Homo-oligomer: A and B are copies of this chain.
Amino acid sequence: MTDFFNGIPTIAYEGPEAAHDFAFRHYDPDAVIMGKPMKDHLRFACAYWHSFAWPGGDPFGGPTFVRPWFDDTMDAAKMKADVALEMFQILGVPYFCFHDADVRPEGASFSESIDNLAQITDYFAEKMDQSGVKLLWGTANLFSHRRYMAGAATNPDPDVFAYAAATIKACMDATIKLGGENYVLWGGREGYETLLNTDMGRERQQAGRMLQMVVDYKHKMGFEGTILIEPKPQEPTKHQYDYDVATVYGFLKDFGLEDEVKVNIEQGHAILAGHSFEHELALARELGIFGSIDMNRNDYQSGWDTDQFPNNVPEMALAYYEVLRAGGFTTGGTNFDAKLRRQSLDPEDLIIAHVGGMDACAAGLKAAAAMFEDGKLEAARDARYAGWNTAAGQDLLHRSSLEDCYAKVTEQAIEPEPRSGRQERLENLVNRYL
């Protein structure tokens, strides 16, 4: 044991009345909801990068966090892993997620970085085995290093494409080695700063090819996890190709990969794209590409990716309601892609932030499940569309032409009378479960 979290107890469920900071008030891992323990609904994961690799800088300020492992050596990487695993156990979080760059020292060459990754993942394997903590997903950091400044798959330089592909292979191998349940692609530099120097047509082909290679490799290796794309509209680039769920879907259709790849949806990215989180979740479900979620919160008054811990339970309830409507997670889960505010310097802040986030999700899930089981919301929705379930409705949907419709409207002198959408009633209904 390191002494980083000295004095902080393992967090347990103590119910809503718990009087201190180190207790769950809503998350009761083994409590059964809709026939399944809460932990299996939520499938929580911690993000290695924010909690252990990010030093607290922002565009106008340097590091604020002082961590004993902030050093680019293998020993420091191992200390970091020790602390990380301790946090996962303190929190009782069953999963974590990582990029290669989070966990290993950057090598002086590609090969050295790969070696470093192999060493540290061996170390992880051992610790995971001991602790029971599992890997929700792995991914490659193809955006921080200056070699990727103009893109990874979509770089104008084929050497960068090759370098990125080689890196992905190594990260997929690491993910497989550690029993990861998904592999994620976030294309932080797959976009452009200016159209003036960009060939979107070429870059799109490059991105499609890279994704095909990833899918091919998955099958070749017999990896049974899910390949996930994480949409984001912009930042760091002015425009990112994986803008939102609808855009990713068009891209997948174009390359015939819509049955091979799903999406990892982040709350903050949804907000930056002009959507509610529940919209993106619902759309992914309807398109058959719902995979996993990156749970966080974007400040509604900020125009950049704030990656805060979630805390608004009514919003969580709407999100998990869409997850339940999708049948719940299969390989996916709830990854906290959330970071401490840079003024939250203390080790206990790391624990407290996750406790609050987990509780907000748990409270949201409970409300969502109650709403789902009660069925009133779905009954209201179904009633609204009941006309389409009739023979005439089905005929209209599947077999009509414009002329048929014209004939019907004129012959039957149809003048439709609108009916109330009852939005406020439904909003009140949702509030009853909270």
Contact = CB atoms under 8 A, between A and B. Distances in A.
A310 to B, nearest CB: 10
A6 interface: no
Given A64-B418, A162-B414, 7 more contacts: A61-B189, A149-B421, A162-B405, A163-B405, A163-B415, A213-B405, A243-B244
Contact of A146 (B25, B63, B390): B63
Interface string A387-428: 110101100111011110110111001111111111111111
B193 A418 contact: no
A286 interface: yes
Number of chain copies forming the complex: 4
A196, A352, A392, A400: most-surrounded residue (chain B CB, <10 A): A196
A283 interface: yes
A231 to B, nearest CB: 11
26 contacts: A21-B425, A21-B428, A59-B305, A61-B145, A62-B146, A109-B413, A150-B419, A150-B421, A158-B387, A158-B393, A161-B397, A163-B415, A169-B402, A196-B423, A196-B427, A197-B384, A233-B274, A244-B247, A250-B251, A274-B301, A303-B304, A311-B430, A344-B420, A345-B418, A355-B428, A356-B425
Given A159-B414, A238-B301, A387-B156, A195 B278 contact: yes
A313 B431 contact: yes
Nearest to A250: B250
B275 A239 contact: yes
B343 A416 contact: no
Contact of A410 (B111, B157, B279, B360): B111
Interface stretch (A34-42, A83-91, A122-130, A203-211): A203-211
Contacts of A21: 425, 428
Contact of A64 (B146, B216, B238, B392): B146
A370 interface: no
B144 A60 contact: yes
Contacts of A3: none
